[in-house]
């Protein structure tokens, strides 16, 4: 069964550094999402992406965040200058079409020191 894959599984970085989290959505999916989960809190929506542009973003997704689909397979989340409070589990998801089931990756645990 096709899966959403995320790399790395764990990323450790120093405060102020840039990080790029990578995702490979399921191949025939057209809609892509990022969510995050701070330890002990709920899974929160960050951004959705379709047709090479952001279709919706939350208030968490400020100027420090950006997303990109640099080629036909990868979908990346960049945090320009990480803060301690960016430490969280980041989940990528994809869906075949708007309104259909979102399939999640296993997540990247980001630790900002």
Partner 1 sequence: AQRVTQPEKLLSVFKGAPVELKCNYSYSGSPELFWYVQYSRQRLQLLLRHISRESIKGFTADLNKGETSFHLKKPFAQEEDSAMYYCALRLSGGSNYKLTFGKGTLLTVNP
The answer to whether 79 and 90 have CB atoms below 8 angstroms apart is no
Residue 105 interacts with partner 1 (CB under 8 A)?
yes
77: β partners: 21, 67
Region 19-78 residues binding partner 1, contact defined as CB under 8 A: 31, 33, 35, 41-45, 48, 55-56, 58
Nearer to partner 1, 5 or 64 (CB): 5
The answer to whether 5 and 105 have CB atoms below 8 angstroms apart is yes
Nearer to partner 1, 5 or 74 (CB): 5
Query: Which residue intervals of 6-108 are DSSP H helices?
Result: none
Nearer to partner 1, 15 or 100 (CB): 100
């Amino acid at each position: 069964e096709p899966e959403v894959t995320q790399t790395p599984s764990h990323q450790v970085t120093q405060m102020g550094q840039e990080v790029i989290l990578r995702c490979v959505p399921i191949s025939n999916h057209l809609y892509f999402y990022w969510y995050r989960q701070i330890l002990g809190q709920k899974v929160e929506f960050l951004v959705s992406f379709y047709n090479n542009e952001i279709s919706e973003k939350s208030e968490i997704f400020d100027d420090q965040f950006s997303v990109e689909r640099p080629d036909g397979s990868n979908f990346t989340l960049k945090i320009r200058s990480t803060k301690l409070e960016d430490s969280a589990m980041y989940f990528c998801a994809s869906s075949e079409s708007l309104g259909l089931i979102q399939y999640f990756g296993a997540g990247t645990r980001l630790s900002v020191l």
